[in-house]
Amino acid sequence: MNQTIETILRHRSIRKFTEQPLSEEQLSAILDSAIAASSSSFIQCVSIIRVTESDKRESLAEYAGGQPYVATAAEFLVFCADYHRHKQIHPEAKLGFTEQTLIASVDAALMAQNAMVAAESMGLGGVYIGGIRNNPAEVSELLSLPHHVFPLFGLCLGFPAQDPERKPRLPRELIVHQDEYQQDLDRNLLAEYDNQVREYYRTRTGGNKNTSWSEQITATLDKEARPFIKAFINEKGFSLK
Q: Is 5 in the site for its own copies (CB under 8 A)?
A: yes
CA–CA distance, 229 with 241 (Å, rounded to integer) = 16
Work out whether 135 is an interface residue with its own copies (CB under 8 A): no
Q: How far is the CB of 169 from its own copies (least distance, A)?
A: 5
For its own copies, the binding residue among 18, 38, 203, 210 (CB under 8 A) is 38
Among 16, 52, 157, 235, binds its own copies (CB under 8 A): 52
Contacts of 39 (CB under 8 A, 6+ apart): 45, 46, 107, 110
Residue 236's φ and ψ, nearest 5 degrees, are -80, 0
Q: Which of 20, 43, 203, 204 binds its own copies (CB under 8 A)?
A: 43
Residues 6+ apart with CB under 8 A from 224: none
Cα dihedral: 12, 214, 106, 235 (round 10): -120
What is the rounded end-to-end Cα distance, in angstroms, of the chain?
A: 45
φ, ψ at 148 (rounded to 5°): 70, 15
CB of 6 to its own copies, least distance (A): 9
- Size of site (CB under 8 A) for its own copies: 110
Write down the least CB distance from residue 186 to its own copies, Å.
10
- Binding its own copies (rule: CB under 8 A), the pick from 169, 191, 204, 209 is 169
- Tell me the C-alpha distance between 239 and 127, whole Å: 27
Contacting its own copies (CB under 8 A), which of 65, 167, 196, 202? 167
Contacts with its own copies in 104-133 (CB under 8 A)?
A: 105-110, 112-114, 116-118, 121-122, 127-128, 130, 133
Nearer to its own copies, 8 or 137 (CB): 8
Minimum gap (Å) between residue 108 Cβ and its own copies = 7
Among residue numbers 179 through 238, which ones bind its own copies (CB under 8 A)? Answer: 179-181, 183, 185, 190, 213-214, 216-218, 220-227, 229-230, 233
* 50 sits near its own copies (criterion: CB under 8 A): yes
CB 217 to its own copies: min, Å? 6
Q: What is the torsion angle, in degrees rounded to the nearest 10, for the CA atoms of residue 80, residue 134, residue 73 and residue 119?
A: -40
Could you give the angle at which helices 98-121 and 24-35 cross, rounded to 10 degrees?
A: 140
